[in-house]
């Protein structure tokens, strides 16, 4: 199936052209591809009131939903768009344009760097993916920051089936530094941000940049435990819970799931997620197996990593019900010669950068690096 022949009934397309189907904008869908993508969005958000120019995140979309939406688009158009299409083309109109080109995952440039939200202000925020490999979690943070702040993301190579995932954190850091510099961002204009697992990679990037004599403008860890406190590698059950319980919201016995072989795991998860409505039927076990593989690679990399030392300061945002304890804090203090400033905010590890809490994180970022917009009477951040 090609992008020029999506599974859209001809009479539906004719109706759209006559204006009987509208999106709430001045015009309706212009061709079969746009109609198919629009239909997928309407089905995904369960409403007919999706405009062609409405932003995915403004409609309430999130990173888990992005996977489901792209699967629906594949069912309707035959085109498998890469996950970062949500960032590159966050509207029906833009996504249809991407689908018309037949842009598939293997045709996407090999760089790990994607733009979450553009801007001209400096420093830019470069956000490293958490354990699942995607950077969509950071979109709410980008929206909450002062106008004009550029927010970029570094996503795992393993998301692209044509690329091999980096096996450890130092290798990830080297590649991500190269991708950032190749995009003409000088390290001195970059604040490295990492949520959870991403904080480990951000710290390693800071170490490597300092060793090269080109330190970053800042390092911000978002509730990142220091993995040297782990006594053993994370179990398969714990790993699967991160994906199945947290990301997909499924209530399942992960111990029982962990006992299955990888193919059976993917089939079981897909059945449950389809029944739950988290993933559509056409998602495919191959893609799910790849996602599980990314979790496994990153979990193993985190366990094997021992933080190096960089000469600068580290800022740590810690939710009141987070995962970073005093032992972790002691490790980060030993690893940051410029000291560690802790910023306590409401929330827990999982909702720290969710829409309901991300404003607290954005406030800290604003006070740290965008002083010209600090609210009157605001004190120094951290403690």
Which range is most confident: 11-20, 50-59, 227-236? 50-59
Here the tokens at position 166 are 């980096």
Arithmetic mean of pLDDT over the chain: 81
Q: Read off the pLDDT of residues 211-256 as tens digits, 9 standing for 90 and up.
A: 999 999 999 999 999 865 556 666 776 777 777 766 677 777 878 8
Mutual angle of helices 262-276 and 285-304, in 10-degree steps? 110
pLDDT at 347: 94
3-state secondary structure of 184: coil
Q: What is the DSSP string of 53-107?
A: T--TTTTT--HHHHHHHHHHHHHHHS----TTHHHH--SHHHHHHHHHTT--GGG
Tell me what the mean pLDDT of segment 118-146 comes to: 92
Residue 373 is predicted with a pLDDT of 47
274-306 pLDDT per residue, tens: 887 777 666 777 778 888 888 889 988 998 999
Paired tokens of 78: 């035959």
User: Model's pTM, two decimal places?
Assistant: 0.78
Virtual torsion, Cα 222, 355, 153, 40, nearest 10 deg: 150
Q: How far is CA 165 from CA 75, 159, 296, 356, in A?
A: 27, 8, 11, 32
pLDDT band at 10 (very low <50, low <70, confident <90, very high): very low
Percent of the chain at pLDDT above 90? 37
Would you call 297 helix, strand, or coil by DSSP? helix
In 334-373, the DSSP E strands lie at 340-348
- Helices 197-211 and 169-182 pack at an angle, to 10 degrees, of 70
pLDDT of residue 383: 41
pLDDT for position 371: 73
Average pLDDT over residues 320-330: 92
The helix-helix angle for 285-304 and 197-211 (nearest 10°) equals 60
Between 108 and 95, the more confident residue is 95
Among 18-27, 88-97, 224-233, 369-378, the minimum mean pLDDT is found in 18-27
């Amino acid at each position: 199936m090609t992008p020029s022949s999506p599974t859209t009934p001809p009479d539906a397309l004719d109706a759209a052209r006559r204006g009987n189907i509208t999106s709430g904008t001045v015009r309706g869908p212009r061709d079969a591809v746009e109609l198919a993508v629009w239909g997928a969005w309407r089905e995904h958000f369960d409403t007919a009131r999706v405009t062609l120019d409405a932003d995915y995140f403004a409609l309430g979309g999130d990173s888990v939903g992005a996977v489901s939406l792209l699967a629906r688009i594949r069912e309707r158009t035959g085109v498998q768009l890469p996950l970062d299409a949500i960032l590159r083309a966050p509207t029906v109109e833009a996504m249809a344009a991407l689908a018309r080109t037949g842009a598939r995952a293997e045709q996407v440039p090999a760089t790990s760097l994607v733009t979450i939200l553009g801007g001209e202000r400096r420093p830019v925020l470069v956000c490293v993916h958490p354990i699942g490999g995607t950077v969509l979690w950071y979109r709410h943070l980008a929206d909450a920051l002062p106008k004009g702040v550029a927010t970029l993301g570094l996503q795992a190579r393993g998301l692209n089936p044509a690329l091999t995932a980096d096996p450890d954190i130092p290798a990830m850091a080297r590649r991500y530094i190269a991708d950032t510099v190749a995009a003409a961002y000088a390290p001195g204009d970059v604040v490295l941000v990492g949520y959870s697992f991403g904080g480990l990679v951000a710290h390693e990037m800071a170490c490597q940049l300092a060793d090269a004599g080109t330190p970053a403008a800042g390092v911000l860890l978002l509730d990142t435990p220091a993995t040297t406190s782990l006594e053993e590698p994370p179990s398969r059950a714990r790993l699967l819970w991160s994906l199945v319980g947290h990301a997909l919201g499924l209530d399942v016995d992960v111990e029982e799931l962990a006992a299955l072989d990888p193919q059976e795991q993917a089939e079981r998860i897909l059945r449950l997620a389809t029944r739950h409505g988290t993933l559509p039927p056409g998602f495919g076990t191959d893609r799910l197996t790849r996602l599980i593989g990314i979790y496994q690679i990153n979990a193993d990399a985190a366990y094997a990593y021992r933080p190096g030392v960089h000469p600068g300061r580290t800022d740590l945002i810690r939710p009141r019900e987070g995962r970073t304890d005093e032992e972790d804090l002691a490790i980060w203090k030993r690893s940051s010669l410029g000291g560690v400033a802790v910023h306590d905010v409401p929330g827990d590890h999982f909702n720290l950068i969710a829409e309901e809490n991300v404003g607290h994180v954005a406030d800290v970022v604003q006070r740290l690096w965008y002083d010209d917009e600090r609210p009157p009477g605001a004190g120094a951040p951290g403690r």
